Structure 1
Amino acid sequence: MKLVIFDVDGTLVDSQAHIVLSMAAAFEAVGLAMPTRDTILSIVGLSLPLALRELAPEADEATLSRMVEAYKDAFQQHRLAQGAAASPLYPGAEEAVRRLGARDDLYLAIATGKSRRGLDALMQEWDFADLFMSTQSADDHPSKPHPSMVLTCLVDCGVAAEEAVVIGDTTYDMEMARAARVRGIGVRWGYHGKEALMSAGAVTVLDRFDQLDGALDEIWLDEMREG
Structure 2
Amino acid sequence: MSPDLRLIIFDVDGTLVDSQNDIVSSMKAAFESVDIAVPDRSQILSIVGLSLPVAIAQLSPQTNDATQAEIVAAYKNAYAEQRAENDIAVTSPFYPGARDMLHQLNAKANILMGIATGKSRRGLDALLTGHGLNGIFVTEQVADFHPSKPHPSMIEAALSETGLAPDQAVMVGDTSFDMEMGRNAGIRTIGVSWGYHSRDNLGHAGADLIIDRYDALPDALDHIWEK
Output the TM-score relative to the length of structure 2: 0.96
Alpha-carbon offset, residue 65 of structure 1: 1.0
Helix, strand or coil at the partner of 2:170 = strand
CA distance in 2, matches of 1:83, 1:110: 22
CA distance in 1, matches of 2:164, 2:103: 20
Correspondence for 2:172 = 167
Alpha-carbon contact 1:98-1:128 (below 8 Å) kept: no
1:70 matched to 2:74? The reply is yes
Instruction: Give the one of 150, 170, 175 matched to 1:145.
Output: 150
CA distance in 1, matches of 2:134, 2:217: 19
Please list every run of at least 4 consecutive aligned residues from structure 1 whose deviation after the TM superposition is greater than 3 angstroms. Answer: none
Report how many aligned residue pairs link the two structures: 222
Alpha-carbon contact 1:2-1:105 (below 8 Å) kept: yes
Output the TM-score relative to the length of structure 1: 0.96
CA distance in 1, matches of 2:28, 2:131: 27
Correspondence for 2:57 = 53
Alpha-carbon offset, residue 219 of structure 1: 1.1
Structure 1: runs of 5+ lacking an equivalent:
223-227
Helix, strand or coil at the partner of 1:132 = coil
Identity of matched residues, %: 52
Q: Deviations over 1:114-142 (max 9, x none)?
A: 01100011111233331200001000100
Correspondence for 2:29 = 25
CA distance in 1, matches of 2:103, 2:219: 15
CA distance in 1, matches of 2:33, 2:171: 35
Correspondence for 2:129 = 124
Correspondence for 2:201 = 196
Q: Deviations over 1:152-210 (max 9, x none)?
A: 00011111001100000000000000000000100011000111101101011110001
Structure 2: runs of 5+ lacking an equivalent:
none
Correspondence for 1:225 = none
Instruction: Give the one of 217, 222, 226 matched to 1:217.
Output: 222
> What RMSD in Å do the two structures reach over aligned CA positions?
0.8
